[in-house]
Amino acid sequence: MSPTPHTFDVQVYYEDTDFSGVVYHANYLRYFERAREHVLGAGELVRLWRDEQKGYVVYKATQAFKEGAVFGDIVEIRSTARLESEYRIVFDQRAHRKADGRLLVDAVIEMVCIDGQRRPVPIPLHERLRAVLAGSAS
């Protein structure tokens, strides 16, 4: 049984599109980033940096484009996470058009946690992240 994905909706604005009216490919990285911030909790991310000098950075990102979202669409980002190692967390993220559920972009984002000197440190397993990894955060 796979974990229940965390969902996050994104409104597509005209500024998100290219000359053809389709969402510019790099904007999906922004949408995925917003969804991960929502998954992890902005307050926790701020606290982690302020109190522990730890933060997440993208180590590797791959995206497969299936279909383009267009101006006016609501895009639902579905995110699940898993620990790949003590130092790496992997987010499987999919962008779906909310109106018809069609898959638009399939992405795998690998992240590591670093300290204030930009050295890798173990992923901090705070309460919210444990819930995400268990597939029970919404």
Counting every residue written for the chain, the total comes to 138
Residue 41 falls inside a structural domain: yes
Residue 138 has pLDDT above 60, yes or no: no
Rg of the chain taking only CA atoms, in angstroms: 16
Task: Tell me which residue range forms the domain holding 75.
Answer: 6-133
Whichever domain contains 74, its CATH number is: 3.10.129.10
18 is catalytic: yes
16 phi, psi to nearest 5 deg: -80, -10
pLDDT value, residue 133: 80
Residue 138 falls inside a structural domain: no
pLDDT value, residue 11: 97
Instruction: Please give the tally of structural domains in the chain.
Output: 1
Is residue 1 very low, low, confident or very high in pLDDT (cuts 50, 70, 90)? very low
Residue 116 falls inside a structural domain: yes
The stretch 114-128 carries a mean pLDDT of 91
Distances from the Cα of 136 to the Cαs of 7, 33, 65, 67, 124, in angstroms?
12, 20, 28, 29, 18
pLDDT value, residue 14: 94
9-53 pLDDT, tens digit per residue, is 999 999 999 989 999 999 999 999 999 999 999 999 999 999 999
pTM value is 0.91
Catalytic residue among 16, 18, 73, 106: 18
Residue 1 falls inside a structural domain: no
Percent of the chain whose predicted confidence (pLDDT) is above 90:
83
77 DSSP 8-state letter: E
The stretch 102-108 carries a mean pLDDT of 98
93-103 pLDDT, tens digit per residue, is 999 999 999 99
Nearest to 61 by CA among 18, 93, 21: 93
